[in-house]
Amino acid sequence: MRLNIIPREQHCISRKHISDNALKVMSRLHAGDYQAYLVGGAVRDLLRGVPPKDFDVATDATPEQVAELFRNSRIIGRRFRIVHVRFGREIIEVTTFRGHHSAAGNHESSRRGGNRSRQSASGLLLRDNVYGTLAEDAVRRDLTVNALYYDAQTFELFDHVHGLPDLEARSIRIIGDPEKRFTEDPVRMLRVLRFAAKLDFTIEEHTAAGIPPCARLLLEIPPARLFDEFLKLFLSGFAATTFEQLLTFDLLRYLFPDTSAALREENALTLIRAAMENTDARIGNNKPVTPAFILAALLWPVAHQAFLRYGDRGDSPMVAMHAASMDTLAEANRHVSIPRRFAQPIREIWEFQLRLQRKSGRKAAELVDHRRFRAAYDFLLLREQAGEKTDGLGAFWTEVQTLSPQQRLASMSAGKGGGRRRSRTSRTRPVS
């Protein structure tokens, strides 16, 4: 592709909108006789008039050379090494220009201290530490709108891949041949959907057409890496739109196959959509969110089906729910690795749905003080919002929270909570 250099008077980027720390990094790299450019999402957002959340720098210096210039830095990554330069709470990410995976490129990269690239038999990139030039780096990036470079010395914008016209057209386009790029790294398909949702852009037709033939390659991605992508997909404030994109391109079944199959069940799709919208609203209002809650919603249709199966064979409700929770999470972990710190809260949210059915007695009165009550209560409301029948449990626990601890204990211990105490041997199921 032909390089397009856009002078200062033809674009809206100003240094005053760039992090001082990013400018310091580029300045020191220049002083060390290295090239340095602001790149990626920061350039894209500055051109859109949106304040960037972070700033990335691309350079021809190797990670070791960057680390020598900045004592406040560390090299991270294995598949592709990058340098994090820390300034208090801000981190400037510095990457070395990537090159092509040719024999000549590998030789040049090794000469400069880089590792040779390595691919699987199917073409999946296992190691990508091949160093190159600015032009090569541009075509090695994923999306055209994320491959624009800004020179803080000359104030010029460099566009090697038709990124600026795509940005103006609000179009998400993969750089190069879509199927080849998706084969090299199937996660790029998720990035296409995520950025289309985040930016409210359309997906360019050839890029979209390349996704279905490569979708199964997501099965080759390690579950731990897919969990990292899960966080980006659903905890960036655009979960609802991203979820719809996953459904449109049928990629959900490669992340959560059991959930994908369970969407045919009544209320399942409605509940998950409501959870996505709830999460987006909380992020939009600067309220805290946890992966545990949205995972609990995504996997609830699967867990509930398993719970009913265990109940049908005669297990008590709590035993059935515990077994269903363990089965559901174990199977989900085969595709998306869920850390223990989130798996435990997920199980507690699900099991709490049974405990919330008790409306009287001291133990019921004390539920409000449990550390997991609020998440479980919100989840109960989500189930009702999706159309599940709970015999008014949501309204009951909403009213209970208006009482003082003394009033709550007196009312519920006296049996005025609206229901009778069930025996420990009760085999009732959660209403649904």
DSSP string, 268-316: HHHHHHHHHHHHHHHHHTT----HHHHHHHHHHHHHHHHHHHHHHTT--
CATH topology of domain 258-413: cca-adding enzyme, domain 2 (1.10.3090)
**Catalytic, out of 60, 128, 142, 185:** 142
**Catalytic, out of 45, 54, 315, 327:** 54
How confident is the model at residue 134, as a pLDDT? 95
How confident is the model at residue 128, as a pLDDT? 55
Q: Is 142 a catalytic residue?
A: yes
Single out the residue of 55, 147, 163 nearest to residue 98, CA to CA.
Answer: 147
Cα 275–Cα 276–Cα 282 angle in degrees, nearest 5: 90
CATH topology of domain 4-169: Beta Polymerase; domain 2 (3.30.460)
Amino acid letter for position 54: D
How confident is the model at residue 201, as a pLDDT? 98
| Domain chopping of the chain, boundaries | 4-169, 258-413
How confident is the model at residue 77, as a pLDDT? 85
Q: Is 54 a catalytic residue?
A: yes
CA of 104: how far to CAs of 80, 115, 116, 129, 192, in Å?
19, 13, 11, 14, 30
* β-pairing verdict for 125-127 and 148-150: unpaired
Q: Which residues contact 256 (CB under 8 A, 6 or more apart)?
A: 298, 299, 332, 335, 336
pLDDT tens for each residue of the chain, 432 residues long: 678 999 999 999 999 999 999 999 999 999 999 999 999 999 999 999 999 999 999 999 999 999 999 999 999 987 788 999 999 999 999 999 998 765 444 444 444 455 555 555 555 544 556 899 999 999 999 999 999 999 999 999 999 999 999 999 999 999 999 999 999 999 999 999 999 999 999 999 999 999 999 999 999 999 999 999 999 999 999 999 999 999 999 999 999 999 999 998 889 999 999 999 999 999 999 999 999 999 999 999 999 999 999 999 999 999 999 999 999 999 999 999 999 999 999 999 999 999 999 999 989 999 999 999 999 999 999 999 999 999 999 999 999 999 998 999 888 876 544 444 444 434 445 654
**Catalytic, out of 56, 60, 166, 258:** 56
- d(Cα 382, Cα 280) in Å, to the nearest integer? 14
How confident is the model at residue 309, as a pLDDT? 95
User: Contact, 106 vs 130, CB < 8 A?
Assistant: yes
How confident is the model at residue 100, as a pLDDT? 78
